[in-house]
Chain A
Amino acid sequence: MKQAQFGLRAAAALFAAVTLAWSTGAAAQSAAQRAVDAAKPLCAGGKTITIVWEAGLQSLDPLNFSGPKWEQLTGCKVKVVEAPVSEMFTKIMQEFRAGTGAYDALNVIPAWMPDLAQAGALEVLDPYVEKYGYAKELQSIAATYRDNQMKVNGKIYGFPDDGDVFVFYYRKDLFARDDLKKAFKAKHGYDLAPPKTWKQFGEIGAFFTEALKSEGIYGASMFREAGYGNFMFQERFRNEGGKFFDANMKATVNSPEGVKVLTEWRNENKFMPPGVEKFGFVENLAVFLEGKSAMTISWPPYGRFAAGYLSEEKALSWVPKSKIAGKVGYTLPPGGHPELAAGFALSVAAGSKQKEAAYLFIQWLNSEETSNQRVQLPYALRDPFRDSHFTNPGYLKLWPDAKDYLAALQAASKTGLLDLSLIQTDKYEEALRQGISRLWAGEDPKKILDDIAKQWDEITAKVGVDKQKAVYSAWAAKSGAYPK
């Protein structure tokens, strides 16, 4: 009897030990590995996952790195459908409407999510997250992205996968010059330092241009082309205290704050390089890397390009050689709340015929393990979006100022402002883009903004005031909607 009791206890102890060992092992297994293990049997027949990705540098990630690696790990091939950002939404919607099931996984700009989710084009990911134990790793995505760019109506439609945020870049060497510091203090009565307000920005910019134009350096250069200006306006308008709509969902973009932003833009152009009205990503980058501008605002890759990080990389041959490596400082833009401009989330297409395999691919891409490698790819444009990315020891050593760069990105992610996201967001943004191009054509800021507000009210009325109000209220309640 005793022997039998002992045997029973031993068996129970063994069972408990095995269970503990198994559960510990399972917990220790990374989300990336879980995705690989689960995908292997699904990929046994030699499947191909088709994913929509932004054309250009962005798509070198799946083409050169993650696609081949996923095939090597699981046997699933990855086909990349490249499209310019301006056409991605159209392509995704057209395919969804056609119902061909041609796309399995998608790169989606978070501001599009309400539209795509409402249209039914995106698969709800919660059941997959639960099934493949990804919830824990989702929690280590930086709070701004995790809390604001993942869900619609409480359901997960995409994994934030790109920490796009505007950063203020400035020439440390110019701000440290004694002659300039002395002259600036004498003129304005405060120390020359990276601007904390837009008023300071205007004064510093004008001062630099006046002092350095003979050296071929302008005070600042900025995105002014309407497509980029849309993001810049949204950021600055809210930093000035502006709200997009009032309590009755009436557009208030034509408020004094809006007029102030457009008026100041026009004035600031006077100390920027000629033709700044047409500056987009590349034009502004060229001017800054050539050392012809003392300050600018842009997405994180500017910092890497300016540092000359892996400038010999073939895919980056189009990037002008940086003449300012080691001279660039990174901080938050004036106002302290940068735009979380665009960004990408990974989603599964609702029309996919192999959703499980598509999901596993995006879980693997987005996981701690894989994403830490992807954000360090020199040629791709994925920016840090997980807490671990900002403190990655390898990343911190990539170039001498990488530590400051990552600290600035992390700070920016904490105070960043979300792009406006409503039903039919593009219509609201289109009105804004057209308004900005009218500004450069010489029209009056107040008149432009009144027209934009009128167009916004018409769009809202067409969507349905109550319907849109509910979506806006949910958006405005997010931590990154307005400065707190």
Chain B
Amino acid sequence: MPASCFPLTNSNPTEAFLAATRTLAATRDRRFKYVLVAPSIFVLLLIGIFPLVYLVLVSFQNITMTDMDTSFQGLLNYREMIRSTRMWESLLHTVIFTAIALPVELVLGLAMAQLFIDRIPGRQVFVALLVLPVVISPIVAGATWSLMFDNRFGPINQIIGWLIGGEATILWTINPNLVYPAILVAEIWQWTPFMFLLLLAALSAVDKSQLEAASIDGAGWWRTFFRIVLPAIWPVMAIAILIRGLDLFRLFDIVWALTRGGPGTMTETISIFAYVKGFQQFDTSFTAAVALLIIVLLSIVVMLALKRVELAR
């Protein structure tokens, strides 16, 4: 223990000794705590960091289905990735899905939450029913919608057939003009209730007295919504947007069940592209490079989003 640890200004040597002992004990106590938590932190870091480090490592090798070439290949996979028009197209498709589905889910979820904020009869039953799609596995939801859109037995074509008074053979998942709407309908059906639930909770927490005050002051519905309700629910709404945005960026199951990325690669998302390359064609190192790109892109988006909503603080 260095001498500087002992306070020299204290006139009573006994008190000074006791104070020094207390400081020492506190320091030891703090260190002991660190020692206790160190293994857990080490394991957590190992679990979190190791796969990332390994991913980076593999992305600089050339492991394929038939070759376990672990020699350093420089930027080979990154060059190939940048040149891959299919990869960029799949990224664009992902952005399109996200850009359309996210606002629609938000607006619909908010509208439904606004509707159910009032104590209407049968509210609990309706809310429970509305939430059902969220609890279904996305691949099951995709398979269900695949049946719904089936041209021979699907109810959608059946209903259209009744309406037009003849057989309707609409190939929802093949026709290039209909395939995006079909996927988006399934996606929005499944995940709007998630938005609805979060926003319903947020709306329930809005201070009623402020709403009453606004009403007394003669503020209209829009004014009240934009000046009082929206600022109040914004933190929850921002998190909901972030979660759904990230989810949409990883969109896989519903598209896979409905189109497998087709026709051609017209609806292939970046997750499907990575799956096909990595787990069907075993271009392991190339897929590692793609995965790293996805991680980097998502990290940037998350950081910007958190900064924007000031939650990072």
Contact code string A435-466 (vs B, CB < 8 Å = 1, else 0): 10110111100000000000000000000000
Given A93-B65, A226-B262, A437-B263, CB of A278 within 8 Å of CB of B281: no
Give Cα A274–Cα B171 distance, bound, in whole angstroms: 10
Q: Is the CB of A118 within 8 A of B174?
A: no
Which of A327-335, A388-396, A422-430 is near enough to bind chain B?
A422-430
Chain B residues with CB below 8 A from A94, complex form: 279
Given A274-B151, A275-B151, A278-B171, CB of A441 within 8 Å of CB of B264: yes
Chain B residues with CB below 8 A from A175, complex form: none
Q: Is the CB of B151 within 8 A of A438?
A: no
Chain B residues with CB below 8 A from A277, complex form: 171, 174
Q: Is the CB of A424 within 8 A of B281?
A: yes
Contact of B171 (CB < 8 Å), options: A93, A275, A426, A430: A275
Q: Is the CB of B279 within 8 A of A441?
A: no
Query: Does residue A283 face the partner (Cβ distance < 8 Å to B)?
Result: yes
Give Cα A442–Cα B176 distance, bound, in whole angstroms: 8
Q: Is the CB of A118 within 8 A of B151?
A: no
Chain B residues with CB below 8 A from A118, complex form: 66
Give Cα A430–Cα B266 distance, bound, in whole angstroms: 14
Query: Does residue B280 face the partner (Cβ distance < 8 Å to A)?
Result: yes
Q: Is the CB of B65 within 8 A of A441?
A: no
Chain B residues with CB below 8 A from A115, complex form: 65-66
Chain A residues with CB below 8 A from B280, complex form: 89-90, 426, 430
Q: Is the CB of B152 within 8 A of A441?
A: no
Q: Is the CB of A119 within 8 A of B66?
A: yes
Contact code string B266-303 (vs A, CB < 8 Å = 1, else 0): 10000000001001111000000000000000000000
Query: Does residue B167 face the partner (Cβ distance < 8 Å to A)?
Result: yes
Closest to A275 in B: B151
Q: Is the CB of A424 within 8 A of B65?
A: yes
Majority secondary structure of chain B interface residues (helix, strand, loop or mixed): loop
Query: Does residue B265 face the partner (Cβ distance < 8 Å to A)?
Result: yes
Contact code string A157-200 (vs B, CB < 8 Å = 1, else 0): 00000000000000000000000000000000000000000000
Chain A residues with CB below 8 A from B266, complex form: 441
Least Cβ–Cβ distance between B85 and chain A, in angstroms: 11
Chain B residues with CB below 8 A from A430, complex form: 276, 280-281
Chain B contact residue count (CB 8 A cutoff): 22
Chain B residues with CB below 8 A from A90, complex form: 279-280
Contact code string B155-179 (vs A, CB < 8 Å = 1, else 0): 0000000000001010101111000
Least Cβ–Cβ distance between A471 and chain B, in angstroms: 11
Residue picked from A115, A275, A427, most chain B C-beta under 10 Å = A275
Given A278-B174, A434-B262, A437-B264, CB of A427 within 8 Å of CB of B281: yes
Least Cβ–Cβ distance between A442 and chain B, in angstroms: 7
Give Cα A427–Cα B276 distance, bound, in whole angstroms: 10
Chain B residues with CB below 8 A from A426, complex form: 280-281
Give Cα A122–Cα B103 distance, bound, in whole angstroms: 50
Q: Is the CB of A441 within 8 A of B66?
A: no
Chain B residues with CB below 8 A from A119, complex form: 65-66
Q: Is the CB of B176 within 8 A of A441?
A: yes
Given A115-B65, A424-B66, A424-B281, CB of A274 within 8 Å of CB of B169: yes
Q: Is the CB of B265 within 8 A of A434?
A: yes
Q: Is the CB of B169 within 8 A of A438?
A: no
Q: Is the CB of B264 within 8 A of A278?
A: no
Closest to A94 in B: B279
Q: Is the CB of B151 within 8 A of A278?
A: yes
Closest to B168 in A: A274
Chain B residues with CB below 8 A from A275, complex form: 151-152, 169, 171
Give Cα A313–Cα B286 distance, bound, in whole angstroms: 48
Chain A residues with CB below 8 A from B152, complex form: 275, 283
Given A119-B66, A277-B174, CB of A434 within 8 Å of CB of B264: yes
Give Cα A438–Cα B176 distance, bound, in whole angstroms: 9
Contact code string A310-323 (vs B, CB < 8 Å = 1, else 0): 00000000000000
Least Cβ–Cβ distance between B160 and chain A, in angstroms: 13
Chain B residues 180 to 221 lying within 8 A of chain A, measured CB to CB, are none
Chain B residues with CB below 8 A from A435, complex form: 264
Least Cβ–Cβ distance between A345 and chain B, in angstroms: 19
Closest to B173 in A: A278
Q: Is the CB of B66 within 8 A of A437?
A: no
Chain B residues with CB below 8 A from A423, complex form: 66
Q: Is the CB of A440 within 8 A of B263?
A: yes
Give Cα A108–Cα B282 distance, bound, in whole angstroms: 17
Give Cα A90–Cα B263 distance, bound, in whole angstroms: 23
Chain A residues with CB below 8 A from B167, complex form: 274
Contact code string B81-100 (vs A, CB < 8 Å = 1, else 0): 00000000000000000000
Given A283-B152, A430-B276, CB of A438 within 8 Å of CB of B66: no
Contact code string B228-272 (vs A, CB < 8 Å = 1, else 0): 000000000000000000000000000000000011111000000
Contact code string A66-96 (vs B, CB < 8 Å = 1, else 0): 0000000000000000000000011001100
Least Cβ–Cβ distance between A424 and chain B, in angstroms: 6
Closest to B265 in A: A434
Chain B residues with CB below 8 A from A438, complex form: 263-264
Chain A residues with CB below 8 A from B66, complex form: 115, 118-119, 423-424
Contact code string A341-373 (vs B, CB < 8 Å = 1, else 0): 000000000000000000000000000000000
The 20 listed contacts between A and B (C-beta, < 8 Å) are A90-B280, A115-B65, A115-B66, A274-B169, A275-B151, A275-B169, A277-B171, A278-B150, A278-B174, A283-B152, A424-B66, A426-B281, A427-B281, A430-B280, A435-B264, A438-B264, A440-B174, A441-B174, A441-B175, A441-B266
5 A-B pairs with the lowest CB-CB distances in the bound complex, closest first: A441-B263, A274-B169, A275-B151, A437-B262, A437-B263
B interface list, Cβ under 8 A from A? 65-66, 150-152, 167, 169, 171, 173-176, 262-266, 276, 279-282
